[in-house]
Amino acid sequence: MLDTPAHAKAKPAVVTRSADVNAYTVGSYLAERLSQIGLKHHFAVAGDYNLVLLDQLLSNKALEQVYCSNELNCGFSAEGYARAHGAAAAVVTFTVGALSAFNAIAGAYAENLPVILISGAPNSNDRASEHLLHHTLATHDFSYPLEMAKRITCAAVSITSAADAPALIDHAIRSALREKKPAYIEIACNISGASCAAPGPISGVLAEEPSDSETLHAAVEAAAAFLREKEKPVLLIGSKLRAAGAEKEAIQLADALGCSVAVMAAAKSFFPEDHPQFVGIYWGEISAPGAREIVDWSDSLVCIGTIFNDYSTVGWTAMPTGVGVLTADTNRVHFGKYDFSRIHLRDFLAALARKVEKRGATMVEYKRIHAERPPENPTKPDSKLMRAEIVRQIRPLVTSDTTVIAETGDSWFNGMQLKMPGNARFEIEMQYGHIGWSVPATFGYALGAPDRRIIAMIGDGSFQLTAQEVAQMIRRKLPVIIFLINNHGYTIEVEIHDGPYNNIKNWDYAGLIDAFNAEDGHGRGLRATTGGELAEAIKVALANKQGPTLIECVIDRDDCTADLISWGRLVSAANARPPRPQ
């Protein structure tokens, strides 16, 4: 399911209209819809407002219920599943569960992932009554989770009547899939088991509005004319490319133009790194060798699904602007005096590919200026473990069927140094940047992509936020490999602005796995303090198919990438800009 989101591939299930319509309840209707859009799992934390709903979801044998340790992790597990599988669902209880999950849902919004958050809710009879209820603010207002959800989803609905449930459920799911954003569905606990209509054909939910053909034609003509006048165009790939389902079409345009293709850090692996025109990660001052130079040398930059924020522009020092920039966004193309909307990115790229002529100058120049970074030499097996040695040893593990998941921290910059061969995938939560995201996201991703080798690179500080979800990997016997980089603190923050707040309590990270294993788990926890110990630990990890292996890699507090130091200096300068005079 990795190339095409699940809902795009999902074949409408045949609905037996002769079945008794009363055979469906609100909960089983929802389950059927989730299954029809291609989900095989949904993530859940139980609570009395959602127990009947969970029973209803369990009754659908095509959907497996997967339990999480808390609702933040439940949301992030679903977010990781959506990365692998195209969409996801998480079920929580009212307020105490939903408010924790909201942080992950906001992350899914920022990262353009359709995660459907479903919350159990108070009995419909208790609304507009004098009753006070548990898990609330001890007021008669139960509307605040819905109101909050509206700010972090593309659709938020509250179901208090079985008759309205099908339309509201369909609206929420349809919006999420179309907009690649999360949705929120709240269901009163006495409504989940109430009878409702049977689901109609799923095509009504999946159908997309086509691009406006006149606008598409005009946009393509104008863009082709723009490129015809240029000698040295470069394509810059951004993270919204995948959400727009336009990865193949970006390759078509690259092939047609024959120009250099640079990729933003947040989009690493969205354009194949073994494509002959791939020139590396463009990240301002810390770009791959040659990538920044070729972007600077170009006379036109075609920005495809890009997001320029303070981090990706390295503290606003690498912000492409001006008449040479053409931006092709999810549903919009704009450059110079033009601004076209209501066109799908994939339609625009595919049609433009058929119109343009070859523009290979940037590839000629790139080949002249490009110098590979020299390969690192292995350190002596008994010498102290260093960050560079960790990356060197991870490199050969990344095969075409591997997904690397890189947590916020120096793992971002370490991850950029890995080459992704063939269909290797790279996952990063760079827009939202919530530390701790990667542990549950790795769990969810591994369930969504059971045939892939999953490697997670996670800092010690991040791990402490969501460590419990390793126990769920153990429960499900998922053989993921976690490189836990123990540099004794928040090193990325150290490089931006240091203080005592960047020191954290050390844990016995490897030892923790035994505690999670309890009486029946097969996780392995190992500690590496030298290159030799790391190599041995990797062998153990590769042999362990019965559960996750966590390798605690102990390094010095200041042993970080040079890229982090340069980036940290410029981001720190951007943060420190004084207020404008009044």
Distances (CA, A) of 197 to 55, 203, 228, 445, 543: 19, 17, 56, 33, 50
Chosen residue from 119, 124, 408, 549 binding ligand DPX by CB under 6 A? 408
To the nearest whole angstrom, how small is the minimum distance from the Cβ of residue 489 to Mg ion?
Answer: 5
Q: Which residue's CB comes closest to ligand DPX?
A: 459
Residue 491 as a binder of ligand DPX (CB under 6 A): the answer is: yes
**Helix/strand/coil percent split, the chain, to 5:** 40, 20, 40
Which residue number has the CB closest to Mg ion?
459
**Could you say which of Mg ion, ligand DPX, none residue 307 binds, taking C-beta under 5 to 8 angstroms by partner kind?**
none
Return d(Cα 251, Cα 255) in angstroms, integer: 6
- Backbone phi, then psi, for 92, in 5-degree steps? -135, 175
Q: How near is the Cβ of 577 to ligand DPX at its closest, in Å?
A: 19
- Ordered DSSP codes for 288-355: PTTHHHHHHH-SEEEEES----TTTTTTTTS---STTEEEEETTEEEETTEEEES--HHHHHHHHHTT
The Cβ-side half-sphere exposure at 17, using a 13 Å CA radius, reads 2
Other beta carbons within 10 angstroms of residue 310's beta carbon come to 14
Segment interacting with ligand DPX, rule: CB under 6 A, options 15-23, 307-315, 447-455, 485-493: 485-493
Q: Nearest distance from residue 494's CB to Mg ion, in Å?
A: 9
When asked if residue 492 is in the footprint of ligand DPX (CB under 6 A), the reply is yes
Options 306, 330, 487, 549; binder of Mg ion; rule CB under 5 A: 487
Sites for ligand DPX among residues 56-85 (CB under 6 A): none
Min dist CB 308 to ligand DPX, Å, is 19
Q: Is 119 in the site for ligand DPX (CB under 6 A)?
A: no
Nearest to 203 by CA among 483, 423, 13: 13
Least Cβ distance, residue 413 to ligand DPX (angstroms): 9
> Cα–Cα distance between 567 and 181 in angstroms, integer?
30
Q: Least distance in Å: CB of 410 to ligand DPX?
A: 3
Distance CA 507, CA 488 (A): 9
Closest separation between CB of residue 409 and Mg ion, Å? Answer: 6
Q: Which is nearer to ligand DPX, 88 or 492 (CB)?
A: 492
Q: Which stretch binds ligand DPX (CB under 6 A): 113-121, 322-330, 404-412, 445-453?
A: 404-412
Residues 544, 479 contacting (CB under 8 angstroms): yes
Among 9-17, 31-39, 73-81, 457-465, which window interacts with Mg ion (CB under 5 A)? Answer: 457-465
Q: What does the radius of gyration of the chain's CA atoms come to, in whole angstroms?
A: 25
Contacting residues for 579 by C-beta, under 8 A, at least 6 apart: none
For residues 410 to 439, the per-residue mask of contacts with ligand DPX, x marking binding by CB under 6 A and - elsewhere, is x----------------------xxx----
Find where tokens 């690649």 sit.
180
* Binding stretches for Mg ion (CB under 5 A): 459-461, 487, 491
Note the residues at the interface with ligand DPX (CB under 6 A). 408-410, 433-435, 459-462, 487, 489-493
